[in-house]
Amino acid sequence: MQAGELAIGVVLEAFADTALEDVLSWLAREVPEVTHIEVGAGGYAPHPHCDVAELLSSRPARARWLGRIARHGLTVDALNAWGNPLHPDPDLAARHDQDLRNAIRLAALLGVDRVVAMAGCPAAAPGDRAPHFGAGGWLPYLEGVWEQQWERWVAPYWSGLAAFARAEHPDVLICLELHPGTVAFNVETFRRVAALGDRIAANLDPSHFFWMGMDGHKVAAAIADRVGHAHGKDVVFHPESLALNGLLDRRWPDPADQMPWTFAVPGAGHDLEWWAELARLLAGTRARVISIEHEDPFVRPRDGVARAARLLSAAIEASRAGGGRGGKVTS
């Protein structure tokens, strides 16, 4: 793949109940647009397709695993170890931290230089037993929480993790998904975390920007120098429920048919022009793959991935032809 050229991948999490060989065979046979896979390797990410302990300990096992994938014409572009290494439960935090570090170690051994993760979410104050998403100070008891978290937990942890990544795998990018519920969820908070180490990059998933009211194109342009990976996922808004309950719904994600918004197959909420413009912007970053993350509750994974691959392939082609500016939104 040449510099600036985007490829299409798929996050295997949607196929956690399917054997790796079956997923690979199906992708090669039915979705030729997909050339890369993103494989779960720990944290909250299910990882039935990747025995991390075996692959870390055995060179022959790594060779067999990579060879099996290559025989289907596919390449591992990223390992995914999304989790919460800042969790106030020390056992869970330690486990997710170890999973992330093992994913970095394994990536080095496999020749993979992208690890997808999340920045995590700590307690609001020492002694708390649950994470606290410090997303606003519109009430007195919410004021200043994010800054306190930054000083106590976020800056120390990510400074240390960035140093570990640089020492263990100098070419790796830890691609943090800008995700609500974590300490890096928009441009301002991501920039704070990214400043802690040059191995920290962004995994750009526009679906979260859609429902937060952000402009995915402007986000991509604003942090272009730190984007290392991308997910392909859309959002559809449901006007009646949105009118009554707004964007924040305590029940999310179920029942899906009553939610104000749901994740969707790319193209369902934002049209080809929108995705072509995103592809054009991503071509100017270090991202090499748009990895389809299927979470549409109304579409089967195989159908959704195939549809997404066709849409993204057309979008990438349109971006190369100079199209994709000013994409309009469809309902």
291 forms beta bridges with 9, 231
The 3-class secondary structure across 171-188, one letter per residue, is: CCEEEEECCCCCCCCCHH
Quote the pTM value.
0.94
227-232 and 34-40 as β-strands: parallel, antiparallel, unpaired? unpaired
- pLDDT cut 70: percent of the chain above it: 96
pLDDT for residue 101 is more than 90: yes
Q: How many whole angstroms separate alpha carbon 117 and alpha carbon 100?
A: 8
115-163, pLDDT tens digit by residue?
A: 999 999 999 999 999 999 999 878 888 899 999 999 999 999 999 999 9
CATH code of the domain in which 80 resides: 3.20.20.150
155-168 helix and 90-110 helix, angle to the nearest 10 degrees = 20
Average pLDDT (290-319) is 98
User: Which pLDDT score, from 0 to 100, does residue 117 have?
Assistant: 98
Q: With 80 as the cut, is the pLDDT of residue 13 above it? A: yes
181: Cβ contacts below 8 Å, ≥ 6 apart: 121, 131, 133
User: Within a domain: residue 325?
Assistant: no
Say yes or no to pLDDT of 200 above 70. yes
- The span from the CA of 231 to the CA of 38, in Å, is 10
Q: What is the pLDDT of residue 131?
A: 97
Tokens 């486990």 sit on residue: 95
Cis before 180? omega within 30: no
In this structure, is residue 129 part of a structural domain?
yes
pLDDT the model gives residue 328: 38
Would 329 be classed as within a structural domain? no
The full DSSP string for 247-292 is S--TTTTSSGGGSSEEEE-TTSSB-HHHHHHHHHHHTTSS--EEEE
Q: Assign 81 to helix, strand or coil.
A: coil
> Closest Cα to residue 117, out of 220, 18, 4, 197?
197
Domain that holds residue 187: 7-320
288 to 2, 39, 97, 229: CA distances (angstroms):
9, 16, 26, 7
Please give the structure tokens belonging to residue 268: 């369902």
Q: What percent of the chain has pLDDT over 90?
A: 92
Instruction: Determine, yes or no, domain membership for 328.
Output: no
DSSP 8-state symbol, 214: -
pLDDT band at 324 (very low <50, low <70, confident <90, very high): low
Q: Looking at residues 266-282, what average pLDDT do you find?
A: 98
DSSP-assigned states of every residue in 133-169? -----SSGGGTTHHHHHIIIIIHHHHHHHHHHHHHH-
Nearest to residue 111, comparing CAs of 65, 148, 71, 164?
65
Number of domains in the chain: 1
Mean pLDDT of 97-113: 98
Instruction: Tell me, yes or no, whether 326 lies in a domain.
Output: no
Q: Is 70 exceeded by the pLDDT of residue 331? A: no
Residue 327 lies in a domain: no
Is residue 174 classed exposed, middle or buried when 0-12, 13-18 and 19+ CB atoms within 10 A define those classes?
buried
Domain assignment of residue 1, yes or no: no
Instruction: Compute the average pLDDT of residues 31-42.
Output: 98
Cα gap 282→269, rounded to integer Å: 20
Indicate the average pLDDT of the chain.
95
What does the pLDDT read at residue 326?
42
pLDDT of 322: 78
Q: How confident is the model at residue 329 (pLDDT cuts 50, 70, 90)?
A: very low
For residue range 57-79, what is the model confidence (pLDDT) as tens digits? 999 999 999 999 999 999 999 99
Distance CA 210, CA 197 (A): 28
Give the model's pLDDT for residue 4. Answer: 61
Mean pLDDT, residues 296-307 taken together: 98
